[in-house]
Structure 1
Amino acid sequence: MWDDFAEFILTQATENPTRIVEIAVGKFDGVYQYLKRNENIEIIKTDILPNDDEVIKDDITNPNLELYENADIIYSIRPPSELQPHIERLSRKVDGTFIIKPLCNEDLNISSHKVKLKNYKKASFYIL
């Protein structure tokens, strides 16, 4: 499923290079590693509590907008529901594709009517 999710993100990578940001990466960086292998991708990952040197410290409740400007794709895997409205607000400020992969049985805590459920192979997620 994670490879399918990463593969879908690559289908959205139409710029050369494509700038991608992962929000609230936590300890799972499998999708990041998959995307990083592609030479057409410039990718960074952010989290409020970085767990390695590749993670840039950022608080999505008060984001450093410079990290996200010019991002073509911004995604988050299993963001806590209390962070989802902050991701939605960021999506209004940044012109790019937003993808949220919640827990399998979790509803989104987002008010936007532009959110669409997307199924790609074995991956299900929401796209803004």
Structure 2
Amino acid sequence: MTEGKITDRDNALFEAGIKLGALYHQFTGSPLNMKTASSLEKAIQESISVQPYVEDISVQIDREMLKSKLNSEFGYSELQGPMLKIKITVKYSTARVKVGMAYDPELNYPLMKIEEIEEITV
């Protein structure tokens, strides 16, 4: 890589990171319960999927964690980062990257990371 030259790979990784961060901060705090978890997963997927360069996205909300957080009086909770398991594939010109977010119990943190980088020959 030539110093100062921005590559398709760089842009793909940047786009993927922006999407994970936007998703996290846009949807955490959303009210949900066991009945609405599936519709919230779908809404998150559809919202992020329309953004540029997104090839694929999957969103899973941990039902056991949600169940443990439900308010006993009202039966709902707010979406929290540790409940989310996300996979996003971004394709930018000649690069395809797969990123994800999942709760890391050792760190007690919803960790975002690069899972795969693929150079595409045209």
Q: What TM-score, normalized to structure 2?
A: 0.29
- Identify the structure with the greater strand proportion: 2
Which protein is bigger by CA-based radius of gyration?
Answer: 2
Bigger relative contact order (CA 8 A; separation at least 6)? 2
- Identify the structure with the greater helix proportion: 2
